[in-house]
Amino acid sequence: MTEAASLYSDVDEQELQRNAEASLLHYGTSFYPEMIVRASGQTITTSSGHQMLDWTSGQMSCLIGHGNQEIVETIRKHAASLDHLFSGMLSPPVVSLAARLASLTPPGLDKALLLSTGGEANEAAIRLAKFFTGNFEIVGLASSWHGMTGASIGAQYHAGRAGYGPNTVGNLVLPTPNAYRSIFRHADGSHDWRTELDYGWDLLDRQSCGSLAAVIMEPILSSGGMLVPPPGYLKAMREHCDKRDMLLIIDEAQTGIGRAGDMFAFQHFAEDEGVVPDILTLSKTLGNGLPLSAVVTSDRIAAFAKKEGFLFYTTHVNDPLPAAVGDKVLEVIVRDNLVERSRTLGEKLQQGLLRLQSRYGCIGDVRGRGLMAGVEIVSDRGTKTGAPQLGKAIGDKMTELGVWAQLSTMASFGGVFRIAPPLTTTDDEMEKGLAIIEEAFASTPGTMLLGAGHDGSI
């Protein structure tokens, strides 16, 4: 047995659980009932030996798999020779990562600031937008998730606003473009997203005190339920921002670096061609599970920030070790053509999930792009009534059978599975995972196996 495999092979599960109960503060989620003692490739193993395909890539982060040997070697080398420095010092991996990012982003995303988490990157992006524009009002989408720090959670509407006192002043909200549930409809029943967006801006203009600084949005709203804005939405949002002299911040914590089938998800639709955010934030996927994030912006904004003394000085800004990991992640993604791999394997994932939808009436909607999918569980397709308890039962069965696919433990997620396997997933692993998911639906009461012509209503 290798050192990695045996590291926690002899843990005392009961003692660890007692110590966990005695010493850990809960932070908004129920803990998985068993200790995880190993993660390798896309397989995670519990203390009892139970193995699961990790179809959330950790916290949507391990883009190229757990324990990737090139990442392990990069960490080993830099931990031994170049780990952490005074924040004003530069090092080769920091410069290399910034340059590699600039080579992959379109013109207008030219300079990078390296930080630790997605929330921190969004905090810096919002702070930079306020500093550059001289305004303070920040606009978010109603199902957004941007982090747990002051300004980032102020622009977040999915969860986390109530019970903590006043949020940051100057936060305004637009409706989420949820094609499955929106009340804005054309006569044929299709989503009238443009009227929805224009109506939202009309209300927002009435609320604003005249100090609009930026919109911050995800190109796919992951925590909101894997909601994909329609083709042309980003362009329309850009036009609204330009009309009001606002910046556009795009948060690609989960969608960036190939996850959604493009290097960056904002580049996907032909209808949005030419749209480049003023500020792009990256995290999760950039560090393959290590704490690493980036704020990328234009030469124009960067020059202003330098001249006027923009301040975002932290202990771990531009740290060498995580920067080296991020640089290696980008190298592997490009070298191994994993963006295209995400796109093609994602088509198989979508096809498999759509097949399930055709067989089980509890699946109200399947959505997503690349290796980033959402499956919404309902009790009635006609009314679209959510069924989070059924979703939990299906999720528990998936876990038992060997696939970990997140149905959030927070009720606000509304019974939507978020599925995000690593980009290094093999065809065999994809087929195995889909087969396990189908077995979970087949063996869970209430999933409504469909007969010919059945529409899923009960």
- Residues recognised as catalytic: 145, 218, 251, 254, 284, 418
Decide: 98 and 322 in contact? Cβ < 8 Å.
no
Token pair 């433990």 is found at 409
CA 360 and chain centroid, separation: 27
292: which 2 tokens?
């690493």
Q: CA nearest 45: which of 75, 8, 19, 77?
A: 8
Q: How far apart are alpha carbons 289 and 63 in whole angstroms?
A: 8
Q: Determine if residue 215 is left, alpha or beta; phi over 0 gives left, psi from -120 to 50 gives alpha, anything else beta.
A: beta
User: Left, alpha or beta for 318 (phi > 0: left; psi -120 to 50: alpha)?
Assistant: left
Residue 455 neighbours by CB under 8 Å, 6+ apart: 361, 381, 382
| Side-chain-side CA neighbours of residue 56 (13 Å) | 19
User: Which structure tokens are listed for 97?
Assistant: 């990562």
List phi, psi (to 5°) of 404: -100, 105
The two counts, helices (H) then strands (E), for the chain are 14, 16
Type of residue numbered 110: D
The structure tokens listed for 424 are: 């290094």
Please give the structure tokens belonging to residue 389. Answer: 């308890």
| Closest to 315 in 3D by CA, of 145, 85, 92, 137 | 85
The answer to whether the CB of 148 falls within 8 A of the CB of 119 is yes
**Distance (Å, whole) CA 371 – CA 342:** 6
The end-to-end CA distance of the chain, in Å, is 52
- The SS3 of residue 424 is coil
Q: Within a 13 Å sphere around the CA of 148, how many CA atoms are in the beta-carbon half?
A: 5
H/E stretch holding 70: helix 69-81
CA distance 147 to 151: 9
